[in-house]
Structure 1
Amino acid sequence: MRTFWDRVRHALCFEIIGLLLVIPLGALAFSKPLGDIGVVGLVGATLATFWNYFYNLGFDHFHKRVTGTTLKSLRMRIFHAVLFEAGLLIVLLPFIAWYLQISLLEALIMDAAFALFYLVYAYVFNLAYDRIFPLPEWRKPQPQQ
């Protein structure tokens, strides 16, 4: 299992890199001021950071109890990312509509676009993170010579 500080590093890196990508792309895609998308992004990132930590902690405990390891297959990584984004979508929808003064439908479309971006980003980021910072339990024993 990952340590507390490893999970903190994971969450902070995920959100900082994500913001650096999503704020300019969101402003461009939705023709909204960079500052407005920045506020939505920062609030979303703050909520997502807490959600990220607790979601991943709970998911890893559940996954290890069910499978005996925290190592995730491709199918499990996809399920992990989709479930993460669905939970965040529910929380962020009302805030986006209120802050940007747009309808719930417009907010849903915008939130779904952000979720789609983060769905792909989460998969790529977590795959890279796990390769850069692998857990000892994932290392295959070396054959003896």
Structure 2
Amino acid sequence: MRSTRDRVRHAISFELIGLALVSPLGAWAFGMPVAEIGVVGVVGATLATGWNYIYNLGFDHIMLRLRGGTQKTVLVRVLHAVLFEAGLLAALLPLIAWYLDVSLYQAFLMDVSFALFYMVYAFVFNWAYDRVFPIAAWQPAAQQEHGLR
């Protein structure tokens, strides 16, 4: 499993890169000022960062218990992303409606759009992160013996 330090690096880098992408894209897609989408993005990223840490820790513990390891197949990665976004969607919906002064339906459409973006982004980011920062147990024994990545 990943260390606390690694999980913090993962969560922060995920949210910073995601925020840099979603703020201008969201402003363009919804015809709103970048600043307003940016505030929603920062609040969402802050909530998501805490949720990310808790969710991934719990998900890894469940995987460890059910499968004996934390290496994820493509199907498990898809399930991981969908469940993460569903939890976040439920938390962000009322905040988006209130802050942007839009109906719950409009907020739902915006939230779903953000969730779809982040679902794809989470899949790609996590896959890349696992390649850049692999867990030692995933590396072949020869690489571990020689300290290679």
Q: What is the TM-score of this pair, normalised by structure 2? A: 0.94
Question: What is the identity, as a one-letter code, of the residue corresponding to 1:60?
Answer: D
Q: For 1:1-145, what aligned pairs fall within 5 Å after superposition?
A: 1-142=1-142
| 1:133 CA drift (Å) | 0.3
Whole-Å separation in 1 of the counterparts to 2:122 and 2:12: 13
Count of residues in correspondence between the two structures? 142
* Dislocated runs of 4+, deviation >3 Å: none
Whole-Å separation in 1 of the counterparts to 2:34 and 2:120: 22
Stretches of structure 2 that go unaligned for 5 or more consecutive residues are 143-149
Stretches of structure 1 that go unaligned for 5 or more consecutive residues are none
Whole-Å separation in 1 of the counterparts to 2:64 and 2:76: 12
Q: What is the TM-score of this pair, normalised by structure 1? A: 0.97
| 1:28 CA drift (Å) | 0.2
Counting aligned pairs with the same residue, the percent is: 63
SS in 1 for 2:140: coil
Deviation per residue, 1:34-59 (Å, 9 max, x gap): 11000000000000000000000000
SS in 1 for 2:141: coil
| 1:140 CA drift (Å) | 2.4
